[in-house]
Amino acid sequence: MNLTALYRWLLLGEWRAHWIRVMVALIAIAVGVAMAFSIHLINTAAFNEFAAASKSLSGQSDLQVHGRKALFDEALYPLLANYGGVALANPVLELDVAVPGKLQNRNDHKLKIIGIDTFRAIQIAPDLLGLPEEGKTLDRFASDTIFLSPAAMEWLRVKQDDSLQLHAGLEVITLRVAGGLVRARAGQRIAVMDIGAAQWRFQQLGVLSRVELKLQDGINHAAFKARLAEELGESYVVTEQLDHEKRIANMSRAYRVNLNMLALVALFTGTFLVFSTQALSVIRRRHQFALLRVLGVTRQQLLRQVALEGMILGILGSLSGLVLGYTVAELASQFLGGDLGSNFFPGVKPSIHFNPLIALLFLGIGIVVTLMGSIIPALEAARAKPASALRSGSEDTAMAKLSAPWFAIGCLAVAILFTQLPPVFELPVFGYLAISLLLIGGIALMPHFTAWFFSVFLTYMPKKHRNTLLILALARLANAPNQAAIALGGILASFSLMVAMAIMVTSFRISIDNWLGQVLPADLYVRIVTSGDQGGFEPVAQQAIVVLPGFTRIDFFRVQQLLWDPNRPEITLFARPVDRADPRNTLPMTDDMLAPGSIPDDVMPVWISEAIADLYGYRVGDKITLPIAATASEFLVAGVWRDYGRQFGAIQMLLSDYQKLTGDLRINTAAMWLKNDVTMEQAVDVLRQLPFGPALEITRASDLRALSLEIFDRSFAVTYLLEIIAVVIGLLGVAASFSAQTLARVKEFGMLRHIGVLRRQILALLAAEGGFLTSLGILLGFILGWGISLILVFIVNPQSFHWTMQLYLPWRWLFAIAVILFISAALTALLSGRSAVSNQVIRAVREDW
């Protein structure tokens, strides 16, 4: 007989007999690969699309000059145009303008308008040229025209020649849609206007957002950039396209990495499942393999046999995983958007691209992971001496080698060590490593812990509670812990991850809820719908608000974006009244602040968010310079406040200091406290009756709060999804390992039946074993999960998003999940036991000898 035929027989025979388990293993691999692959696809597509869209706005410029603040004086433009080495200077005014009728969606009511000089832009960003009706080229220079991308037209429900209303400061202006931007990217929602028209109509006379430069041939870009940056001084920033891409990458990196980590967790759980399936299948076939060895099959041939099984499983599972992953990515990006509902990449409609190389990589990962799960038990099977392996009861020793206690303890120790290490490239690499080591160590420790725990339990169990079945179950768990540990591992892995995520999300949500209460103390928040950085309320309008009846207190805010470091996203600068003596009355301070009342009178204090402290390395008591006014001014860091709203950092300063430094008296938000006898409706009415009433965006603090939490929940939707998948994989693992185990113990059950144990009693025995095991799994899973949640809350979150939070445990939810898990695991154990105690009693015993 030739060996190939033998391999085929062995393989097909095994799979035909245990096809359910094979299917479970396949599903586990497929789900793991699919998760990882789809998250990768969605992230990459969203990121690429976002980068491409923002690149298409800046065209093929060599350098860009920005102000530190969003807008700067246009006088710089002719200077740059005439600067030696500059071939072309392209002035751009970019505005985010509110659209009347879209205001109900607070996060999505703005249209990006790019003001360009057609003749300059055509040479640097030709995609931004509007296509007017034939013969109406002058529409490109007109002051009442606007060109819209297809996506913008669809969003605004207008077409060529329609009129379009937009908010401009306190007024609403009407423009004519003169044509399309045919080369805008799919889904990119932008509008283009003449730069002179945009300056005039949107009340931005004399300012620009940026000047894009094309350099003459043969100019050294780096040297030019350095020279120009030095000449322009502190108030301006010179960047390359590369810097821009870096900034975008920086912006979403933490988010992307964290999602990828979650995907890896799914893959990890899948691996563990494959491992347990394969390990048990090998153990069950020890006799078969030993027999083959005796018949002359070599170790290598046996090894090849098992590896082949794993290989085929891996290929089939990973391939279906790729298909599944691609489908999920397509669906998710269609229904949830490219950022999976988290608003990380606004206004982007990515299309998923199939990259064969990446697909191959994930296929490889899936196969390797499956092979690893198969090879380890296969090595053991091949190494075993045929004589002892043929003997019954050797299964448990087979697993012993896989779980040396020093390995487990080493993993746990290193994990604890890793929690003390700083982030790498601003990513919590060691935090994630610590989590996986905790998981691995925890699972590897299980056999020993199980044996120890149940022997102790057995020894100290009160005599009166003892009955045969209980003792049998406990004895089994105490003395053959390795097989039990495999089932336990599945429960442990999925439950601990679930616990960890639940604790993390709950802590985060409650912390945010508390924080919202602190940062939104007023009753009403009023701003001008265009707002953005173009501060809306002139002093006259402020005065009109101040004299309104019905309010006890009104605070004005000037909020704007500030480009502090060209390589990083912009930070947010708040200028507002702050209680100088004790900022805790105004801001959600951390404990890190100067003692109340200790700020000297002659310095200007600022309060920085945790992100600023982390990213820019400033500490309380440091002196910092901010490029706010024409000349940079020095401030004292008086404290650190908690900010969940702006991941890239925010700084609070006194409005009076800001106005003194800049002379900019406009503000964009008013926080208003109502008098006791005034209702919300009355207050809103009073505001609406102002001359500029219709242009106001009036929000109740309670609405803001609800909205913020809604956004929070939406951005964690994908987390919940991943969590559910982890649970399902975990339960699949429990089912697989229990059924494998009970099948492997057919002989044992046969024996029990022969000495008079009833079938019903054997089932009770199995249920008891399952129950004990699951209880232990849940208990340990909780401890492990709690440990992991500590890492998530106190290491991963601060390191990737630069905010800290308090720990809160969702007891009720955890208890419910524990009960569900307990019941389903015991049921699984019972169900899979039924087949083992069916009609095979005689055969089972005979087979033994």
Q: How far is the CB of 196 from another protein (least distance, A)?
A: 3
Q: Tokens 């960047």 label which residue?
A: 239
Q: How far is the CB of 217 from another protein (least distance, A)?
A: 8
Q: Residue 274, interface with another protein (CB under 8 A)? A: no
In sequence order, what are the residues at sequence separation of 6 or more whose Cβ sits closer than 8 angstroms to the Cβ of residue 548?
A: 686, 687, 690
Q: How far apart are CA 141 and CA 149, in angstroms?
A: 18
Q: How far is the CB of 110 from another protein (least distance, A)?
A: 22
Q: How far is the CB of 215 from another protein (least distance, A)?
A: 13
Q: Contact with another protein (CB under 8 A): which of 138, 331, 461, 819? A: 138
Q: Residue 459, interface with another protein (CB under 8 A)? A: no
Residue 274 half-sphere exposure toward CB, CA atoms < 13 A: 36
Q: Residue 786, interface with another protein (CB under 8 A)? A: no
Q: Residue 78, interface with another protein (CB under 8 A)? A: yes
First-to-last C-alpha distance (Å) of the chain? 27
Q: How far is the CB of 178 from another protein (least distance, A)?
A: 12
Residue spans of alpha helices (H) in 1-18: 3-17
Toward another protein, which CB reaches closer, 44 or 90? Answer: 90
Q: Tokens 């009076």 label which residue?
A: 656
In sequence order, what are the residues at sequence separation of 6 or more whose Cβ sits closer than 8 angstroms to the Cβ of residue 602?
A: none
Q: How far apart are CA 601 and CA 585, in angstroms?
A: 19
Concatenate the DSSP letters of all residues of 303-357 into one string. Answer: HHHHHHHHHHHHHHHHHHHHHHHHHHHHHHHHHTTTTTTS-SSTT--------HH
Q: Residue 73, interface with another protein (CB under 8 A)? A: no
**Interface mask toward another protein for 118-137; x: CB under 8 A:** -xx-x------------xxx
Q: How far is the CB of 62 from another protein (least distance, A)?
A: 16
Toward another protein, which CB reaches closer, 214 or 284? Answer: 214
Cβ-contact 69, 533 below 8 angstroms: yes
Element (H, E) at 459: helix 429-460
Cβ-contact 332, 385 below 8 angstroms: no
Toward another protein, which CB reaches closer, 81 or 721? Answer: 81
Q: Tokens 């890239």 label which residue?
A: 648
* Distance from chain centroid for Cα 132: 42
Q: Contact with another protein (CB under 8 A): which of 37, 72, 77, 289? A: 77
Binding part of the chain for another protein, among 77-85, 312-320, 610-618, 814-822 by CB under 8 A, reads 77-85
Q: Residue 200, interface with another protein (CB under 8 A)? A: yes
Q: Residue 206, interface with another protein (CB under 8 A)? A: yes
Toward another protein, which CB reaches closer, 135 or 617? Answer: 135
Q: How far is the CB of 143 from another protein (least distance, A)?
A: 5
Toward another protein, which CB reaches closer, 120 or 286? Answer: 120
Number of residues binding to another protein, judged by CB under 8 A: 25
Q: Residue 457, interface with another protein (CB under 8 A)? A: no
Residue spans of alpha helices (H) in 480-567: 481-519, 539-546
Q: Residue 141, interface with another protein (CB under 8 A)? A: yes
Within a 10 A sphere around the Cβ of 413, how many other Cβ atoms?
A: 13
Q: Report in angstroms the alpha-carbon separations of 338 from 92, 331, 803.
A: 28, 10, 25
Binding part of the chain for another protein, among 63-71, 113-121, 147-155, 688-696 by CB under 8 A, reads 113-121
Q: Residue 199, interface with another protein (CB under 8 A)? A: yes
Q: Contact with another protein (CB under 8 A): which of 2, 4, 82, 689? A: 82
Q: How far is the CB of 418 from another protein (least distance, A)?
A: 57
Q: Contact with another protein (CB under 8 A): which of 6, 51, 74, 544? A: 74
Cβ-contact 736, 276 below 8 angstroms: yes
φ and ψ of 165, to 5 deg: -100, 135
* Sequence-separated contacts (24+) of 463-468 with Cβ below 8 Å: none
Q: How far is the CB of 64 from another protein (least distance, A)?
A: 18
Question: Scanning residues 178 to 197, which ones bind another protein (CB under 8 A)?
Answer: 194-197
Toward another protein, which CB reaches closer, 9 or 119? Answer: 119
Q: How far apart are CA 615 and CA 560, in angstroms?
A: 19
Toward another protein, which CB reaches closer, 106 or 176? Answer: 176
Q: How far is the CB of 203 from another protein (least distance, A)?
A: 11
The SS3 assignment for 572 reads: strand
Nearest CA-CA partner of 762 in 750, 773, 774, 772: 750
Q: Report in angstroms the alpha-carbon separations of 116 from 47, 142, 152, 526.
A: 26, 12, 18, 32
Q: Residue 143, interface with another protein (CB under 8 A)? A: yes
Q: How far apart are CA 319 and CA 316, in angstroms?
A: 5
Q: Contact with another protein (CB under 8 A): which of 6, 11, 51, 81? A: 81
Q: Contact with another protein (CB under 8 A): which of 11, 51, 131, 142? A: 142
Residues within the interface to another protein (CB under 8 A): 74, 77-78, 81-82, 91, 117, 119-120, 122, 135-138, 141-143, 194-197, 199-200, 205-206
